[in-house]
Amino acid sequence: MPATRFAEQLNAQIGNELAAHNQYLACAVYFDALTMPQMATFFYDQALEERGHAMMMVQYLLDTDMDVVIPGVAAPRSDFADVVAPVELALDQERRVTEQINSLLRIAREENDFASEQFMQWFIKEQVEEVATMSDLLAVVTRNRNDIEDIEEYVAREQSGGETDPTAPREAGA
């Protein structure tokens, strides 16, 4: 059974992940409206991934007989100055989520909650990948802000659908 403090913070993180889902959805819609289908698809996929992370956390709490609380989230930002702004926002968001995940791992360690510490290891690895992906995308979008076709080509080439990670925790409802 997870430590109470860890479970409380994991419930809060479910809200953070759902807020990230909504923010990526807003970014996807922005790019869709600009007729940038590759960027739109990339962010729609990112939104689903963030929702999946929340559902992994829900499943962990269910599996360990802890209460699940689905918190409300603030509306996402949906107005952007240019094609760079949503990617900058996404990178900032991934960095913030990394801090949140690290904090959860720290709590599990402080509470000697070994099962929760092990559960969080996958998210640590995932955040390294997410920050790297957004950092690379930001570099490309910044460099090519006036050449949408180059941005779209990069995303089509480099960000095509990844494989399912067999080490990922199970998602509730999946």
According to the model, what pLDDT value does residue 174 have? 83
Residue at 174 is within a domain: no
25 is in which domain, residue-wise? 4-158
Buried b / exposed e over 80-98, threshold 16 CB at 10 Å, is beebbbbbbbbbebbeebb
The answer for 112, left when phi > 0, alpha when psi is -120 to 50, beta otherwise, is: left
Whole-model pTM: value is: 0.94
Residue tagged 């904090």 (tokens): 103
- For residue 3, report the phi and psi dihedrals to the nearest 5 degrees: -60, 145
Nearest to 39 by CA among 144, 163, 124: 144
Residues 86-108: pLDDT tens digits?
999 999 999 999 999 999 999 99
The domain that holds 71 is classified in CATH as: 1.20.1260.10
Number of domains in the chain: 1
Residue at 171 is within a domain: no
CA distance 161 to 174: 19
Residues of the chain with pLDDT under 50: none
Residue at 166 is within a domain: no
Residue at 172 is within a domain: no
Q: Answer for the pair 154, 133: CB distance below 8 angstroms, yes or no.
A: no
According to the model, what pLDDT value does residue 163 have? 73
